[in-house]
Amino acid sequence: MSYLISPYAAIDEGDITLIIAAAHVLGATLQTHGLRVSTVESCTGGGIAQAITEVAGSSAWFDMGWVTYSNAAKTQLVGVPAELIAQHGAVSEAVVRAMAEGARQASGASWAVAVSGVAGPSGGMPEKPVGLVWMAWAGPQGTVAEHSYWPASRAVVRCQTVYRALSQLNTLLLASAGHAPVP
45 torsion bin: left (phi>0), alpha (psi -120 to 50), beta (else): left
| Separation CA 26–CA 52 (nearest Å) | 9
| Separation CA 155–CA 57 (nearest Å) | 27
Q: How far is CA 141 from CA 31, 98, 176, 180, in A?
A: 19, 15, 8, 15
| CATH of region 11-152+159-176 | 3.90.950.20
- Which of 166, 168, 97, 96 has the alpha carbon at shortest distance from 133? 96
Q: Which amino acid is at 130?
A: V
In this prediction the pTM is 0.90
Q: Tell me the pLDDT tens digit for each residue of 74-87.
A: 999 999 999 999 99
What SS3 class is residue 131?
Answer: coil
Domain ranges of the chain: 11-152+159-176
pLDDT category of residue 4 using cuts at 50, 70 and 90: very low
* Cα 171 off chain centre by: 14
Q: What is the pLDDT of residue 32?
A: 94
Percent of the chain with pLDDT over 70: 90
What SS3 class is residue 174?
Answer: helix
pLDDT category of residue 14 using cuts at 50, 70 and 90: low
Q: Tell me the pLDDT tens digit for each residue of 59-116.
A: 999 999 999 999 999 999 999 999 999 999 999 999 999 999 999 999 999 999 999 9
Contact 4, 10 (CB under 8 A): yes
